[in-house]
Each structure stands twice: as C-alpha cells, then as structure tokens.
Amino acid sequence: QVQLVESGGGLVQAGGSLRLSCAASGRIFLINTMTWYRQAPGKQRELVARIGSGGSTNYADSVKGRFTISRDNAKNTVYLQMNSLKPEDTAVYYCHFDVIRPPGDYWGQGTQVTVSS
C-alpha cells in the first residue's frame, strides 16, 4: 500500500535552515505534482510550494527566495529546503503526491517545524 513518509522537521533558531523530505513507499511509477502544505495552530492549511512533473515550481509569496522545492523521480521523493527561517514559518508541514501510476493521491503524516526567536 502506498504511503508518504516525511522527515527532517525539528527545532531551529530564526535565520537557520532545515531540509524536509517526503518519500513514497510502495510501487509508484509515475507522479504528477508534488506539493508541500503547512498548517499553524489556529490557521488554515496553506500551500507552501509545488513542483510539477516537468520541474516547474510555484511558491507562496511568504516563502519566495527562502524556500526551494525539488524532486528526485528515481527515488519518488520531494524535498523542501528552507533557509532564513522565521518564527512565522512554525507549523506542521505536510507533503502531497498526485500519482498517475497507479492512480491516486496521498498525504504525508506531517512533520513539525518550530522556529524560535
């Protein structure tokens, strides 16, 4: 059964960096978009970054210039490099895959990112 496993979250000081990873288990052969979302306490879930199958990317305005999304298709893995972190980046980060073969969509379990001031 397909599952997405996230890693890389933790506690970091403002101005520091973290790198999140999200890897799919099970047999997946073709993934369309890979997306990172985040949700802070008391706030709605928001899109952070998205990368298409061809490598095109989209970012929330709040993270442009600081975060970079990338993917490794051979490993069925998406990454989020987060630099110059701010306390307002504190949230649970979730990955999402839109899978073509076999068809379906899947969510990661979430990983906590806490940025201290």
Span 65-99, pLDDT tens digits: 999 999 999 999 999 999 999 999 999 999 999 99
Tally Cβ neighbours within 10 Å of residue 112.
Answer: 12
- Residue 87 pLDDT: 98
Query: Are the C-beta atoms of residues 24 and 77 closer than 8 Å to each other?
Result: yes
- Residue 55 pLDDT: 95
- Residue 29 pLDDT: 81
Q: Which segments in the chain show pLDDT lower than 70?
A: none
Look up residue 39 and give its two tokens. 């949700």
